[in-house]
């Protein structure tokens, strides 16, 4: 017997996560003609962005312009623009969360907030999506839970003594005058900049030297927005950058924190070191439904579908294809229509309304001619 027979309400699609990826792919599904779907979000729409430090802003600029209807780099839906809606060039996390809620409202995205998905399993051709209150059933699942609610809290001995930068509501609340930051990519430089702006002394340690990387891909090099801030006098006066100096351990003794870096170099701080160590990613909860690539990320088909569990899709910053890293909104949003079309086709729908998304992707492909690993 077909598992969908006599099974009650079965969604065509369940999207897990109501951030930029989840709301963006949900809008694309609606454009593709899919109506029997739901978005599950364990907090509220845009919760990951709401949790950013108050001072942190998007490194990619928003601006309402171009000829194909995709109005700015931080848009997630055709003919919408955070810049136009918010009237800011570099939105804060709180502002961007408002934009996501507005998009969800305008496109009537069916979101079930405060619905924590704890497990996804497949029996025959049906997915069972477990939540604390009930188990949902669906023909397809799009995992768009993102990364930024799962701070990486390991990486070296004593990492638990540090404070992850993602847990700081505002840099204004940090007491002390002398700080150590572990990690020199975007979030590490961001915290150093804001502390320097308040006259604090900061040492930044990184295993490489991203502030000097010549790549044009912001997945591996700092953005122009960040580089501009590094060049400011207040940053130069208050921040010391330590390249090729990975931290090996952090200990605490007599009320002070001691940081040991490569080569046995030791530094002390009266306050917990700030750890800009990135995120582990919510996709680990469903990793058993995917094969792994050699680099450890999830292996995807050309439609961003699992190669071993048909109907299971990945959407968001964890998407990888060859050497391409889709970790920014303006990168992974190119995949919304790919996923939506694959699902619509599976359901027997023509998905003709996705033509505008195809033009969007072509435009972005033109912008990406800045290196073989760059998908801008």
Same domain, 138 and 175: no
* Residue that finishes a domain, picked among 240, 275, 310: 275
**Overall pTM > 0.85:** yes
3-class SS of residue 241: strand
Q: In three state form, how does the secondary structure of 43-60 look?
A: CCCCHHHHCCCCCCECCC
Same domain, 293 and 145: yes
Which among 225, 242, 275 is the end of a domain? 275
Question: In which domain, by residue range, is 94 found?
Answer: 11-149+279-367
User: Do 179 and 127 reside in the same domain of the chain?
Assistant: no
C-alpha 342, offset from chain centre: 23
Count structural domains, the chain.
2
pLDDT at 115: 96
231 and 352 assigned to the same domain: no
Which residues are paired to 130 by β-bridges? 119, 135
- Tell me, yes or no, whether 223 and 342 share the same domain: no
Residue positions counted in the chain: 376
Separation CA 269–CA 273 (nearest Å): 7
CA 337 – CA 360 distance, rounded (Å): 10
pLDDT tens track of the chain, all 376 residues? 333 333 458 999 999 999 999 999 999 999 999 999 999 999 999 999 999 999 999 998 888 665 555 568 899 998 888 988 899 999 999 999 999 999 999 999 999 999 999 999 999 999 999 999 999 999 999 999 977 777 888 889 999 999 999 999 999 989 999 999 999 999 999 999 999 999 999 999 999 999 987 776 667 778 889 999 999 999 999 999 999 999 999 999 988 999 999 999 999 999 999 999 888 778 889 999 999 999 999 999 999 999 999 999 999 999 999 988 888 888 899 899 999 999 999 999 887 767 666 655 544 444 333 333 333 2
In this structure, are 139 and 283 located in the same domain? Answer: yes
- The whole-number pLDDT of residue 174 equals 92
Whole-number pLDDT of residue 370: 36
**Structural element, H or E, at residue 305:** none
Same structural domain for residues 328 and 283? yes
Give, in order, the Cα–Cα distances in Å from 152 to each of 171, 174, 218, 277, 311.
20, 20, 20, 6, 29
Q: Is residue 6 part of a domain?
A: no
pLDDT, residue 368, reads 38
- Structural domain includes residue 372: no
Taking CA atoms, 18 is separated from 59, 343, 347, in Å, by 21, 19, 23
Per-residue pLDDT, 362: 45
142 shares a domain with 41: yes
């Amino acid at each position: 017997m077909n598992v969908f027979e006599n099974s009650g309400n079965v969604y065509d699609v369940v999207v897990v996560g109501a951030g930029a990826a989840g709301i963006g792919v949900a809008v694309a599904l609606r454009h593709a003609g899919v109506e029997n779907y739901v978005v599950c979000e364990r907090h509220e729409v845009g919760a990951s962005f709401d949790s950013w430090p108050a001072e942190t802003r998007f490194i990619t600029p928003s601006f309402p312009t171009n000829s194909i209807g995709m109005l700015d780099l931080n848009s997630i839906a055709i003919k919408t623009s955070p810049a136009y809606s918010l009237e800011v060039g570099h939105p804060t996390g709180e502002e961007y969360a408002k934009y996501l809620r507005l998009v969800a409202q305008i496109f009537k995205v069916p979101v079930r907030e405060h619905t924590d998905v704890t497990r996804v399993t497949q029996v025959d051709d049906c997915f069972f999506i477990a939540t604390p209150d009930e188990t949902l059933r669906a023909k397809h699942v799009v995992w768009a839970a993102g990364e930024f609610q799962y701070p990486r809290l390991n990486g070296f001995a004593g990492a638990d003594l540090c404070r992850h930068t993602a847990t700081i509501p505002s840099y204004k609340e940090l007491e002390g005058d002398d700080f150590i930051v572990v990690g020199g990519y975007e979030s590490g430089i961001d915290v150093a900049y804001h502390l320097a702006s308040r006259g604090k002394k900061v040492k930044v340690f990184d295993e490489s030297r991203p502030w000097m990387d010549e790549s044009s891909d912001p997945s591996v090099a700092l953005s122009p927005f960040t580089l501009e801030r590094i060049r400011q006098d207040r940053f130069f006066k208050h921040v010391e950058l330590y390249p090729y100096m990975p931290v090996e351990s952090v200990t605490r003794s007599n009320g002070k924190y001691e940081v040991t870096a490569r080569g046995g170099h030791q530094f002390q701080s009266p306050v917990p070191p700030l750890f800009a160590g990135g995120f582990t990613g919510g996709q680990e909860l469903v990793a058993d439904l995917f094969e792994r690539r050699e680099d450890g990320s999830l292996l995807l088909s050309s439609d961003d579908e699992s190669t071993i569990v048909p109907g299971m899709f990945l959407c968001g910053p964890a998407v990888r294809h060859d050497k391409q890293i889709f970790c920014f909104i303006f990168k992974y949003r190119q995949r919304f229509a790919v996923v939506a079309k694959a699902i619509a086709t599976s359901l027997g729908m023509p998905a003709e309304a996705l033509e505008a998304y195809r033009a969007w992707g072509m435009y972005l492909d033109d912008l990406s001619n800045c290196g073989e690993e760059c998908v801008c």
